[in-house]
Amino acid sequence: MAIGNVLVGQSGGPTSVINASLAGVVDAARKAKGIGRVFGMRFGIEGVLNDYLVDLGSESPDVIAGLKSTPGSALGSSRLKLKDEHFPAVLKQLKKYDIRYYFMAGGNDTMDTIHRVTKYANEHGHEMVGVGVPKTVDNDLFGTDHTPGYPSAARYVAMSVLQAGVLARDMQKVDQFVIFQSIGRSAGWLPAAAALARTNELSAPHVLLLPERRFNQTAFLQAVAAAYKKHGFASIVCGEGVTNEDGSPLSASQTKDKFGNVEFGAMGGTSAAMLLHRMIANEFGWRGEFQVAESLPMCAADRTTKLDIAEAYACGKQAVKLALRGEGGVMVTMQRTNKSSEPYAIDFGTISLSEVANHERPMPDNFISKDGFGVTKAFLDYAAPLVGELPKYASLAAKRAKA
């Protein structure tokens, strides 16, 4: 590769550590030989089309370091789906700024964008290397053990269900059930993380609804009734992408984004948690509540794990390392070096961008309990080192007093 400039961007929904990946790219690029200037796309690929690039090389080291603990997407994000007519304009900008190294942090659709842009540029005589940095709280990217952003979002879910479970236990004479809805689209990795909150067989959550299993109303209501009989209340966690037996979204959402993904939180749809609440109230006559966190797990800096920050930053640095070796057309992956997860450690690998773009990674069957309403020890072993230790709360023995 000839000496050239770097272009880095962020796309899709944020995570609480996506800016740590940005910092990793910037730090590695600044120190590398063979790289000139470092530019950032303002609002993703739209920044390229609108000639709005940010001079990241002019930012102070303190600001770049501070990105590691800053939520949101510092460069701004976009969900624009590139069309064929966009590519000549994109190439013009790449040539204008002499972009030879192209990085984006994102999910499946982002990896497809990198693949298409670099392929078009190279086919039209502009030599360029593109490397993807994995990012998604959904944890559904193909080819990697997990994605930066998932550990912190999983901790958010586990902590929320743990604390809400304590509240529900103590308020069971007022509210007989509580439903927590998690984001995650068609993958159950995030709602499954709620199981880490279960400190004993009586504590929340009691029933999990994962998108990998079709929803059966009769079986669900039976599970809720059994939980109530055993615990005095029922704690339910559902993924936003849970589907009916015919494959239609339980949320009844018909809205899709420009990439064809169902927008479960869109106006006009009813959240899965609301429908489940109505279903339980109608069946049993109970009073209950539902909690829909929406985008909060994607930006909760107060629950970000140190592991997640370190791995996100390292993935950004690894992307630059690969690009300088001429290894383009790939996404950085993480793989566990110890299958037992004890001690936890990862190593880096790669997977082709086209392979990531065309596949998703649902939870495997061995992570889901036979009845479909819980997870197995294999999942808990997988998720525990990512989420870290959860707080332990006191619980009264509550022995009945005698006169």
Residues annotated as catalytic (active site), given as ranges: 138
Task: Name the phi and psi angles at 296, rounded to 5.
Answer: -60, -40
Query: In sequence order, what are the residues at sequence separation of 6 or more whose Cβ sits closer than 8 angstroms to the Cβ of residue 336?
Result: 145, 344, 345, 346
The 8 Å CB, 24+ separation contacts for 388-397 are: 388/151, 388/155, 388/305, 388/307, 390/155, 390/158, 390/159, 390/162, 390/196, 390/197, 391/159, 391/162, 392/199, 393/162, 393/166
Which of 49, 118, 38 has the alpha carbon at shortest distance from 78? 49
Distance CA 113, CA 133 (A): 12
Separation CA 362–CA 211 (nearest Å) = 9
Task: State how far the Cα of 18 lies from the Cα of 312, in Å rounded to an integer.
Answer: 7
**From the centroid of its chain, how far is CA 266?**
18
Sheet of strand 4-10, all strands in order from the earlier edge strand to the far edge: 53-55, 35-41, 4-10, 99-106, 129-134, 330-336, 346-352
What does the block give as tokens for 386? Answer: 């990512």
Q: By the 8 A CB rule, do 127 and 2 touch?
A: yes
Q: What is the Cα–Cα distance from 328 to 64, expressed in whole angstroms?
A: 25
